[in-house]
A and B are shown apart, each in its own frame.
Chain A
Amino acid sequence: MTATHESHPHPNYLAVFAALVVLTGISVSSEYFLGAGAAHAVNVLVAVCKAVLVAMFFMHLKYDWFKVYFMVVPTLIVGVVLVLTLMPDATFSLYRNLLDVPPPIVGE
């Protein structure tokens, strides 16, 4: 079945574009106004906002979400869970500092 007609109206793309540019500006300049940690948090938040804007309006997910979510939601969940399951092994280690690692005990 091919839909040759638009089944939903087109949103105001230029408004979304302006929002994306403003968000990019906020992200790039965040380190000059905030401390390191806050700037990182702002950058991640801005990235998520931009991705959601692009997905909802440019990819028409605002209108097509209920036809498509069953493919997108599991992959997003698995993507996040993948990182969370690996983080304890890779990051929460006993020795975070190279200098703290005790020297190997060679056989006596």
Chain B
Amino acid sequence: MAVSEHALYAEEPRTMGLPLPNAKLAMWLFLATEIMFFSGLIGAYIVQRFGAPHWPRPEEMHLVVALGAFNTFVLICSSVTVVLALKALHEEKTQQAAMFLLATFLLGGVFMVVKAIEYTDKWRHHLLPGQVIESVPALVQEALAERRQVAQQQNKKPEEDAVFVALDRFYRYNIGNARLQPKEALQWYNEIRTAFAQANLPVLTRGEEVAERVAELVRQRRAELKQQRLAHDPLLEELEALSLAAHGIPMSKRQQAVHYHYLSEQKYREAHLPELRLYGNTWSSFYFTLTGIHALHVLGGMVVFAVLLVFYLLGRLGPDKALWVENAGLYWHFVDIVWIFLFPLLYLIG
């Protein structure tokens, strides 16, 4: 016994340094730098998101949790396949290893395809950094452009579209400083009167009296609502907008946002007008930086697997390449771990 034990110890070469292959040590050093890289990015996101006065919700920015969850599942599967490839290679089943490597490569491709679908969706909704609208005037212009397009598609004039007329009025008189002419004021008042028939608003015949009468009506309505312990209602919103326009008082930014919200969410809900996304540009910058850099890392990993597959096709893949596959696997698992943190942060916690 003692002799054979002694022989066993004598067989092990005494070397300097870690009992770790150089390539593996180097890969771990690289992963350590990647940890720093991603913790900088993810840390910046955490700090910015919890420090911002407002942050858009994931649904507002068109993030679909199902797609993110599917991507998570795809990357987890690809991690399993790469480690099964390593196991197969250790057991000298080279073809099985190559099949697993191919599966990893294809799953990486699926991840990239889903990412491309998500990015295309963002592009279509103008959710790119610098293109997200964060001010009401720009938002109204965008809504007007959309309605013009809709009218053009239906071969109608934009002026025949009620939504367009309302938005145009809102822009010119409430946001801009155009003077509301008596005729237009009267027409506006009559439209409100017909829309809220049950409120029994008085009949007005002259456009000039619209200004004072509507201001009076606003006060009345506010008193009524206070009686009913309500803060606001659509009729008050409409009357206020007309009153301010008739008196030539521009709406404050906050009131513009509230009125646009009323128009887009209540009055013309089915028109699907664009929404105001405050801090959407910051969100977009972070989203594309985080997921884009991660996607580039996935692409790099896919290149390595492609090279390994080429090696297999050239008949040069064998148990002696196990270290290659192991290192490629280490990198791939790291990319998977980054996504495991990105997914809840971006999609679930938001």
Q: Which residues of A contact B (CB under 8 A)?
A: 1-6, 10, 13-14, 16-17, 20-21, 24, 27-28, 30-31, 39-40, 43-44, 46-47, 50-51, 54-55, 58-60, 64, 67-68, 71-72, 74-76, 78-80, 82-83, 86-87, 90-91, 93, 96-98
Contacts and interface: CB of A to CB of B under 8 A. Distances in A.
25 contacts: A2-B21, A2-B23, A10-B83, A13-B87, A24-B69, A28-B65, A47-B345, A51-B340, A54-B79, A54-B333, A55-B337, A58-B336, A59-B334, A68-B20, A68-B28, A71-B32, A72-B31, A75-B33, A75-B35, A75-B39, A79-B35, A82-B43, A83-B47, A87-B51, A90-B47
B39 A51 contact: no
Contact of A28 (B19, B33, B69): B69
Contact of A67 (B19, B31, B32): B19
Interface residues of B, number: 58
Nearest to A2: B21
Contacts of A1: 13, 15, 21-22
Contacts of B329: 58-59
Given A2-B21, A83-B43, A24 B76 contact: yes
Given A51-B337, A68-B20, A90-B48, A97 B36 contact: no
Contacts of B77: 17
Looking at chain B's contact residues, is the secondary structure mostly helix, strand, loop, or mixed? helix
Interface stretch (B163-171, B187-195, B317-325): B317-325
Contact of B79 (A3, A10, A58): A58
Contact of B348 (A2, A28, A55, A86): A28
A39 B58 CA distance: 15
Contact of A24 (B29, B73, B79, B323): B73
B256 to A, nearest CB: 15
Nearest to A71: B32
B253 to A, nearest CB: 11
A78 B206 CA distance: 73
B259 to A, nearest CB: 18
Contact of A98 (B22, B53, B345): B53
Interface string B51-90: 1011000000000010001001100110110111001001
A34 B15 CA distance: 55
Pairs A-B, 5 closest by C-beta atoms? A79-B39, A91-B51, A83-B43, A90-B51, A43-B344
Nearest to A27: B344
B297 to A, nearest CB: 15
B13 to A, nearest CB: 8
Interface string B7-43: 0000001010011111110001101110110011001
B45 to A, nearest CB: 10
A97 to B, nearest CB: 6
Contact of A82 (B29, B39, B65): B39
Contacts of B44: 86
A21 B73 contact: yes
Contacts of B345: 47
A98 B329 CA distance: 47
B72 A86 contact: no
Given A13-B87, A47-B340, A51-B337, A76 B35 contact: yes
Given A58-B329, A68-B28, A86-B44, 6 more contacts: A17-B80, A43-B349, A47-B340, A58-B79, A79-B36, A80-B39
B6 to A, nearest CB: 21
A5 B19 CA distance: 13
Nearest to A69: B28
A83 B337 CA distance: 19
Contacts of A90: 47-48, 51
Contacts of A97: 53
